[in-house]
Amino acid sequence: MIYTITFNPALDYIVRLDQLKTGTINRTTQEYVLGGGKGINVSIVLNNLGMDTTALGFIAGFTGEEIVTQLNQFGVKENFIRLREGLTRINVKVKASDEETEINGRGPIIADDELEALYKQLDTLTEQDTLILAGSIPSSLPSDMYELIMERLQHKNIRIVVDATKDLLTRVLPYKPFLIKPNNHELSEIFGRTLSTKDDLVEAAKALQEKGAQHVLISMAGDGAILVAADGTVYTSPAPKGTLVNSVGAGDSMVAGFITGFEKTGDLQEALYWGISSGSASAYSENLATLTEVEALLSQVRVN
């Protein structure tokens, strides 16, 4: 089973308009509400690709139940902890023709016993399972939440994937995550300098491996992706051709695609192809990647 954890899920209220004018009334041309959060996105794409997955984390109030309703419609299994108080946050994403603006909510308070309930769920995982930690940590939880989880599970031989930024990512490296997925900009932030060439990125990935990471998957948007494997082998893949429609969820889709490809084939190059195809399929669509879309792009990247 592939489990994902989303500590800070949200209902994304997405509106499109021709132009955003502050200080006055704006009329939308399109609007929709999507349950989101990095781990949730990963589970949706995993499910779309035919993988067995369960979404874990915390939800609260009617906004949280709407996320569950949407996951049920996708056919995704969930085992969220229902919080006693508060509401799952609402994020407002305004997409105008010339700019995008986001207003993100804070989210509910998570009590100690509610966190303990999550720990008890994780204690049931075995070496046959994969755990994906993705996204931010709410202010009501310890900032070293990922470290605490990985320390708790480190002797169970669970395959753990971490998709996070800055300190949240670098602090888990001593626990030897199976895969980390920074993009080229996030790597530049970690090392405090612009990493613009393939050699720069590979060097940075190997530096993270020296600190404990096994495989390092680097996404580069339209420039494709690089995988630096645990044995030092460097794999590359171009991005398939397409028109960018919506970049939200593309990185999450890449993680889902990579794990799918690896589970299906055990081959790292093929896993990379699945990853870049899944990320691109989401970027080229209003919605998250489907199997049909991914398979169409797979044939393109394999040829290239």
- Count Cβ neighbours within 10 Å for each residue of 80-103 and write b for 16 or more, e otherwise: bbebeebbbbbbebbbbeeeeeee
pLDDT tens string 208-260:
999 999 999 999 887 889 999 999 999 999 889 888 887 778 899 999 999 99
Q: What is the pLDDT of residue 97?
A: 82
CATH number, domain containing residue 118: 3.40.1190.20
pLDDT tens string 108-149:
889 999 999 999 999 999 999 999 999 888 888 888 999 999
Q: What is the pLDDT of residue 193?
A: 85
- 26 in a structural domain: no
- 100 in a structural domain: no
Catalytic residue among 12, 129, 163, 252: 252
d(CA 285, CA 281): 6
| pTM of the full structure | 0.90
| Mean pLDDT score, 265-281 | 95
Number of structural domains the chain divides into: 1
- 15 in a structural domain: no
- 51 in a structural domain: yes
- 23 in a structural domain: no
Q: What is the pLDDT of residue 140?
A: 83
Which of 16-20, 95-99, 293-297 has the weakest average pLDDT? 95-99
Task: Please say if the pLDDT value at position 61 is more than 80.
Answer: yes
Task: Please say if the pLDDT value at position 206 is more than 90.
Answer: yes
Task: Please say if the pLDDT value at position 32 is more than 90.
Answer: no
Which of 71-75, 193-197, 214-218 has the weakest average pLDDT? 193-197
d(CA 64, CA 143): 23
- Nearest Cα neighbor of 134 from 280, 250, 255, 231 is 255
* Paired tokens of 212: 């404990």
- 202 in a structural domain: yes
Domain that holds residue 197: 2-8+37-88+108-303
Active site residue 129: no
Name residue, tokens 């969220």: 80
- 20 in a structural domain: no
- 25 in a structural domain: no
Angle at 302 between CA 262 and CA 50, to 5 degrees: 40
Q: What is the pLDDT of residue 304?
A: 64
